């Protein structure tokens, strides 16, 4: 269980398959997103270990501290699909 201390409320599952890009090298922590039904605060519960997902293709959605790296990897994926 995840508990929002601000609202004294249980946070509820919001979305599965959210990838947390950690750094620039394609290391992604598969995660589930939880949301507080009162204040809408969001958190990620990540797996213990990262997977190597350089094309950002394993998860439904990606987030990370480095948005520029996510955009770069997404662009690489588009380029790799072009014949």
Q: Judged by CB under 5 A, which of 20, 28, 36, 50 binds Zn ion?
A: 36
- Nearest distance from C-beta of residue 43 to Zn ion, angstroms: 10
- Residue listed under structure tokens 């480095």: 66
Beta strands in the chain (DSSP E): 2-4, 9-21, 27-35, 42-46, 51-52, 61-64
Nearer to Zn ion, 36 or 56 (CB): 36
The answer to whether 42 contacts Zn ion (rule: CB under 5 A) is no
Nearer to Zn ion, 1 or 68 (CB): 1
């Amino acid at each position: 269980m995840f508990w929002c201390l601000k609202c004294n409320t249980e946070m509820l599952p919001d979305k599965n398959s959210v990838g947390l890009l950690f750094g620039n090298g394609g290391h992604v922590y598969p995660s589930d997103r939880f949301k507080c039904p009162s204040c809408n605060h969001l958190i990620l519960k990540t797996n213990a270990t990262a997977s190597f997902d350089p094309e950002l293709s394993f998860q439904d959605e990606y987030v990370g501290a480095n948005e520029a790296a996510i955009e770069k990897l997404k662009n690489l994926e588009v380029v790799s699909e072009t014949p």
